[in-house]
Amino acid sequence: MFDVLAYLLEEFNNPAACPQRDDLGRQLTAAGFENDEISDALDWLDGLNQLNDGAYDGANNASGFRCFSNEESHRLSSDIRGLIVFLEANGALSAAQREMLIDRLLAMPDDEITLPTAKLATLMVLWAQGAEVPILLGEELLCALHGELTMQ
């Protein structure tokens, strides 16, 4: 699934440039992805698109400190929770985007929730929102796609 998501990030500048689900599925099949992988990725992306319609907009107006629930603490490693807090504290994620990211991470099977997949999920949330990421933070997140930092 994550190879498909990475492909979408690299292939399309923004979500509006993506073809409809059926056409996109055919394009991904032609690119060599397996049907199960395509289906899982498109289902995950559909969930993201549903959240993108304002499900967490109220989070941006909230004040206070966000604590992780027992389920979130159990399923998201301390590295992933730290990444989320770091990205929000440094302006790369709004409160609503943070909630979207947590939702999409929890939609994954436990064995697939890793730091690299959390970085990719972050990029997908920002991509779906058309948000820009500060360059140095973006480089760190892009490491999930390419495996290493590109800046010196």
Rg, the chain, Cα only: 15
Rounded to two decimals, the pTM is 0.84
Least confident window among 27-31, 63-67, 140-144? 140-144
| Domain segments of the chain as ranges | 2-146
Given a cut of 80, is residue 35 above it in pLDDT?
Answer: yes
Structure confidence at residue 53 (pLDDT): 66
Given a cut of 80, is residue 54 above it in pLDDT?
Answer: no
- Mean per-residue pLDDT, 66-77: 95
Structure confidence at residue 98 (pLDDT): 93
d(CA 36, CA 3): 12
